Structure 1
Amino acid sequence: MSSWGKYKPNESAKNSWSEEEAFEKLTTYCAYQERCPWEVKRKLFEKGIKDELAEKLIAELTSAEFVNEERYARSFARGKFRLKKWGRNRIRMELKMREIPETLIRKGLTEIDPEEYYDTLLTQTEKKWESTREPDTYKKKFKVTQYLMSKGYEMDLVKEAVESLISDQSQ
C-alpha cells in the first residue's frame, strides 16, 4: 500500500473558510477587480458557504462598497467592449446571466460611445471579411454576418456594416 492513502488531506477542511476569513478573503477578491453579487455567491459556494451566511457576507461587502452592481455593470460593459470587442447584445446577455437588473444594464451600456462602437464594428467586419476564405460572396456575407451576430452586434448595424464594406470594394 502506498503512503498516500493515510495522508490524503481532507478536501472539505481545505476548502472551507470561517466567517471572518471569508470576509477578509472576499475583500481582497473584490478589490482586485469589480465583482457582482452573483460572482461572490459562486466563490462562496465553492468554499462551502451558502444561504444566510453567504447573503450576510454579500450584504456586508455591499455596504462597505466592495460590491456595487452599477459600478460592476459599467466596468463590465467598458471592458468587454474594448478588450473583447463584444457587441451590446452579448454584453446585455452576459450581465443578465449575472443577475444584474435591467436598469443597471442600461446604465452600463451607456459607457459605450456610439461612434466608437460603430467604428469597432466596421473594423471587425473588415478583419473577418479578409480572413474568411469563401469564393461565393453570398456565403461569405452570411459567414461574416453570423460571426458578428455571435459577438453580440445588432442585426441592422451588422447588415449596414457588411453592405458598406461590399459597396466600398466594388468601387
Structure 2
Amino acid sequence: MEKKSLTFAEIKLKLVNYCVYQDRCHAEVEQKMKEFLLIDEAKEEIMLYLMKENYLNEERFTRSYIRGKFYIKHWGKTKIKMHLKQKQITDKLISKCFDEIYEDDYLKTIKKIYEDYYAKQSGQEYQKKSKTIKYLMSRGFEYERINDVFE
C-alpha cells in the first residue's frame, strides 16, 4: 500500500496532536517523526515550534511521568529513573523532578505493598520477608528505603 504523502503543515499538525494527547519527551517525538520522510531542517523546525508553543516540555513530561508511575503504577524511584534514562532524560532533570513524590507517600506505599505481598507468601518468616523485599526491589524501591520502613 502506498503511503499518502503529507504536507509539512499536516505533519506538523499530526505531531502537535501527538503531544497534546499526552505529555511526550523529545526522544518520543523524534521517534514519531521517523514515520514521516522529513529532512533534518524540517525536523528541527518542528521541534523548535513544539517547544516554543509549549506542546513539548521535557520538565512537564518528566514530572507527569514520575507522578503517573509512582501514584498509579506504584513504581519505586529506581525503576522510574531507569525508564526516564531510556527516554534520554538527564539525571539532573530527573533529580529535580523527584519532588513530585512526597516522602510520606513513598514510605506509605512501600509499607502497603510490603504488607499486601507479605500476607500472600507462604513459608517461614525469613523466607516471606526475603521474597517480599525482592519483590519491592523489582518494583524499583531501594533496599535502604525498604529497610527504613521496618527499623
Using the size of structure 2 for normalisation, the TM-score is: 0.89
Q: Residue 106 of structure 2 corresponds to which residue in structure 1?
A: 117
Structure 1 residue 159 displacement after superposition: 2.7
Shift of 1:152: 0.9
Aligned in 2, Cα 1:62/1:124: closer, same or farther, shift over 3 Å? Answer: same
Name the counterpart of 1:93: 82
Where does the alignment leave 5 or more consecutive residues of structure 2 unmatched?
none
Paired residue total: 151
Alignment pair present for 1:136 and 2:136: no
Are 1:159 and 2:147 counterparts? yes
Select the structure with the greater relative contact order (CA < 8 A; seq sep ≥ 6). 2
Q: Mind listing any 5+ residue stretches in structure 1 that lack a counterpart? A: 1-8, 165-171
Q: What is the alpha-carbon distance in structure 2 between the residues aligned to residue 109 and residue 50 of structure 1?
A: 36
CA apart distance, 1:103: 1.7
Q: Once the two structures are superposed, what CA deviation does each residue of 1:138-163 show, in whole Å capped at 9, x if it has no partner? A: 222221111111111111111343x4
RMSD: 1.8
Q: 2:35 aligns with which of 37, 46, 66?
A: 46
Separation in 2, partners of 1:46, 1:139: 50
Q: 1:66 aligns with which of 30, 43, 55?
A: 55
Determine the C-alpha separation between the residues in 1 that align with 2:32 and 2:119: 41
TM-score w.r.t. length of structure 1: 0.80
